[in-house]
Structure 1
Amino acid sequence: MNDWLQTLTDWTGTLSGLLWGHPITLIVLLGTGLYLTLRLGFVQIRGFRHSAALISGRYSDPTHQGEVSHFQALATALSATVGTGNIAGVATAISLGGPGALFWMWVTAFVGMATKFTECTLALKFREVTPDGEVAGGPMYTLLNGLNMRKLAMAFALFAMIASFGIGNMVQANSVVDGLRYLHPGFADQAWLVGLVMAILVGLVIIGGVRRIARVASTLVPFMATLYIAAALLVLFNHLGEIPAALKTIFNHALNPWAVGGAAVGEAIRWGVARGLFSNEAGLGSSPMAHAAARTNEPVREGLVAMMEPFIDTLVICTLTGLVIVVTGAWVDRSDDLVGAALTAHAFQETLGPAGGMVVGVGLSLFAFSTIIAWSYYGDRSARFLFGDGAVMPYRVLYALLVVFGAAVPLQLVWNIADVTNILMALPNIIAVILLAGLARRLKDDYFSRPQKPTR
């Protein structure tokens, strides 16, 4: 049995590496963002200020359909995207691709803002609202109601549900234990207990549905982001003089093959784009399911709110992580075992001492927990689409139980399956956003052609 599991782990790992590391995959995801950026007239620049106003609630209308506010929808989606990728993913990109990888993460975030705008605008346009006000939306409904592609819609929902058990649940539960291990090594021996406590907390949140998930996320996300950003800024303030040289190093490794060699630039592109897309999930089709629940009758408004995700996730939080790693020199003088979250913790500890490791440990735990509760909603929307309303509560119970399992079991196989299903989720979603890009543009043009008056 163990040999069979190891064979399956090796095979799925190879497949995952081929899919995420293959230039075609990265070109398709990044190219889609570039195409949408041009097709929509750089909406991420034109709509940026209005997006901030929407998040503040100045345009909210309680008479519109939906279950949560613009801010709560954004917080729920950020709960899923702001996670281990911001701590471990950035460090992995830099350790394997060099500092130049950070620049290419910025590129993916900028064009990814247009992708998020498109997929979430379409999710609002084609969502379904029941008579009692419950909302269901996402790429599966866009494919079904917008393109009449039922089989492709079912394929997306199936892959999303499988991915929710992996990347959204068990992998994150394991990451919580890793985060707590930074605070106290003894937690490693109490993984089952940690998992049980976490499963109870997750169950209490997700059984209440998207409204309760949104309330928890809108409290947890600002707190954890503020804590992590404040610590990173403190490190950078202590290395203020090194920041210009760090930025020069980043741009050299990203764009100057004469300074660092063509192979180094190639690795920077590969790891920066891959980890950037993995972190902000632009094009994967996950966050449209959260944004579809927003209380608005204007699809473009939620698209504008959604495009702030890659900005906050990658251009702010990932940038701070990357700069901390570069300015402290942690990426140069690291030992071979310092990769992922351990490298980030090492960089913070260089300046803040043990408190730096504590920030990374707490941050990793909170980021991972918030990802668990957000992905539960993505999974239950997918289960509902595939099997009907009766599947939602059994899904939520099973999801909570798997948290215990994920916290205590080695998860390389689960990681591999999650990576593969994430890519398989992206394919139907990319088809939808490309085929409906013209509609998204017409909706955008119509919205901005009308005067938008704040409600308060």
Structure 2
Amino acid sequence: MNEILTRIDGVVNAISGVLYMPWVPMFLIVAGLFFTFRTKLIQIRLLPESLRVVMEKPKTSGGISSFGALMVSTASRVGTGNIVGVSTAICLGGYGAVFWMWITAILGGASAFIESTLAQVYKRKDKKGHSYGGPSYYMESALGQRWLGVIFAVIIILTYAVGYNMLASYNLQSAFAGFSFYGDHTAFVIGLILAILFAICVLGGAHRLTKVTGALVPIMGVFYVIIAIVVVVMHANLIPGVFKNIFVSAFDFPAIFGGFTGSCMMQGIKRGLYSNEAGMGSAPNAAATADVSHPAKQGLVQMLSVFIDTLLICTATALMCLCSGVLPTEEAAGAPYVQAALQSSLGNFGPIFIAVSMALFAFTTLIGNYYYCEGCLRFIFKRTPSHAFMTGFRLIAAVIVLLGAMLSMSLAWDTADLFQALMVIINIPVILILGNTAVKTLKDYMAQRKEGKDPHFKAANIGLKQETDYWN
């Protein structure tokens, strides 16, 4: 069995290598720079505006607020990747990986605005008056390429129900590997418990997901950041040296290009993408559900989500580890490095806290990931699938969670890397083609704000000729 899994990992890693050298990094950086220029540095210029908009109530009673949609997308972003992903990037890529994670997030903020604004412009209305949408819908409506939307929907399902959920399950069980009770069957037991809890949640229906994630994500995120700050303050004398190492390592070009696949740049880009998902086309599925008066509002909110994830929580993990005085090594990649860093600062409480945090992060990641899959199924079948089909799909998704806990580290990460790369390869060219619509939408929003109005969008304001469910 192990030999078969090793061969599978070899194939997955080979395909992933082709996509990442150089297509995925090139697409992300070029698109991020292009949209940053077109939106006139929206990430900095309109950051205060995004903080204001996120607190707005839904336009209609019973609708999903910007904050609610933000929590759904953040549930999948803020997960085990913020702990284990950052640790893995540092241990395998060095200090400089942190810098390239920052770059991915800063440039990705502009891409996140574009894709989420497009999702709002082309969103659909269901029989109950609720909105839904995402990249598949703007591929169909704006490009007139339904076949491409179907392919993208399938890849999203593979990415989130398979790649990301298996990885979240693996990462959780790995957090318990350092405890004395961990044995040959512990991974199976942890995977089984997680799969059962996941099944109970998703079998209750997708509408419960927003409530669950909305309650757990802010609490666990704030508490985790507080602990990280405490550790950093305890080792404040090490902060200047840590930042020096981050920047020096980030620009060690001979090391970067001498072994690019394992370099700080590649590790930072891969783990930054896994963490914030900017440009992948995932968050727009949640953004389309928000009940807002102007598409640009949700674009700003989703841009904020990227910063919360990478510039706040991932940075908290990185500084907590690097300021602990514990040196990163390849052997400690993943949860062991984070736990060792916390144990050196907080004693035995450290590993226990990480295990509990991982449990919360993994659970919200799983249900946040699953949220995207139901919308994709509805697009593929042009309707909501039958109850029997959805029950079967949810049970299969739960089994995948169980299987993920028993994978090897390399196969879990390589599978997730492959599927997320496929999403980038499709979505980035599409938003580059359609980006002008989002830029016009932003200009319309800013024009109304300058007039002192609460912006309300009409498709005719930007010369949009396609029929839309909301904005005509």
Fold in common (TM above 0.5): yes
> Residue type of the partner of 1:407?
A
Percent identity for Structure 1 against Structure 2:
35
Aligned residue runs from structure 1 range 298-447, under 5 A: 298-331=294-327, 334=328, 336-387=330-381, 388-390=383-385, 391-410=389-408, 412-413=410-411, 415-447=413-445
Give 1 or 2: higher helix fraction. 1
Q: Deviations over 1:28-80 (max 9, x none)?
A: 112111111111111112221111112223x54225xx842111111111110
Alignment of 1:218-257 (within 5 A): 218-255=214-251
Give 1:79's aligned residue: 75
Q: Secondary structure at the match of 2:291?
A: coil
- Alignment of 1:15 with 2:15, yes or no, is yes
Which residues of structure 1 form unaligned runs of 5+?
none
SS at match of 1:147: coil
Distance verdict in 2 for CA 1:256–1:161, change over 3 Å = closer
Hey, what does 2:209 align to over in structure 1?
A: 213
- Secondary structure of residue in 1 paired with 2:26: helix
Is 1:380–1:395's contact at 8 Å kept on the other side of the alignment?
no
* Alpha-carbon distance between aligned partners in 1 of 2:358 and 2:311, rounded to the nearest angstrom: 19
Deviations 1:150-186 (A, max 9, x none): 1111110111111222223222222222234456634
Quick check: 1:149 aligned with 2:148?
A: no
State the one-letter code of the partner of 1:384.
Answer: R
Matched, 1:293 2:284: no
Between stretches 434-443 and 202-211, larger displacement belongs to: 202-211
Q: Secondary structure at the match of 1:148?
A: coil
The 8 Å contact of residues 164 and 375 in structure 1, kept in 2 or not, is answered as yes
Following the alignment from structure 2 to structure 1, what is the Cα–Cα distance between the partners of residues 345 and 132? 46
- In 1, Cα distance between the equivalents of 2:408 and 2:252? 40
Q: 1:118 to 1:185 in 2, by over 3 A?
A: farther
Check if 1:40 corresponds to 2:31. no
Letter in 2 for 1:360: I
CA contact (8 A) 2:58 2:64 kept: no
Q: Does structure 1 conserve the Cα–Cα contact (< 8 Å) formed by 2:112 and 2:299?
A: yes
> 1:4, 1:409 → 2: CA distance?
12
Contact map agreement 2:80 2:172 (CA 8 A) in 1 = no
2:189 and 2:94 map into 1 onto residues whose CA distance is 38
Decide which moves more: 181-190 or 141-150. 181-190
Give, in whole Å, the separation in 2 of the partners of 1:130 and 1:323: 45
Task: Assess, with a 3 A threshold, how the Cα gap between structure 1 residues 125 and 336 changes in structure 2: closer, same or farther.
Answer: closer
For residue 292 of structure 2, give the secondary structure of its aligned residue in structure 1: coil
Distance verdict in 2 for CA 1:182–1:313, change over 3 Å:
farther
CA–CA distance in 2 between the matches of 1:454 and 1:126? Answer: 18
Normalised by the size of structure 2, how large is the TM-score?
0.87
> Counterparts of 1:126-275 in structure 2 under 5 Å?
126-182=122-178, 185-186=181-182, 189-255=185-251, 267-275=263-271
| Counterpart amino acid of residue 351 in structure 1 | S
Give the whole-Å Cα distance in 2 for the aligned partners of 1:100 and 1:411. Answer: 22
Give per-residue Cα distances to partners, 1:200-240, cap 9 Å, x unaligned: 32233223444311111111111211221111111101011
Q: Deviations along 1:126-148, whole A, 9 cap, x unmatched?
A: 11111213433111001001111
2:334 and 2:299 map into 1 onto residues whose CA distance is 32
3-state secondary structure, aligned to 1:389: coil
Question: Does the aligned pair in 1 maintain the 2:23–2:425 contact within 8 Å?
Answer: no
Match of residue 50 from structure 1: 49
Query: Structure 1 residues 47 and 394, CA, compared in 2 at 3 Å: closer, same or farther?
Result: farther
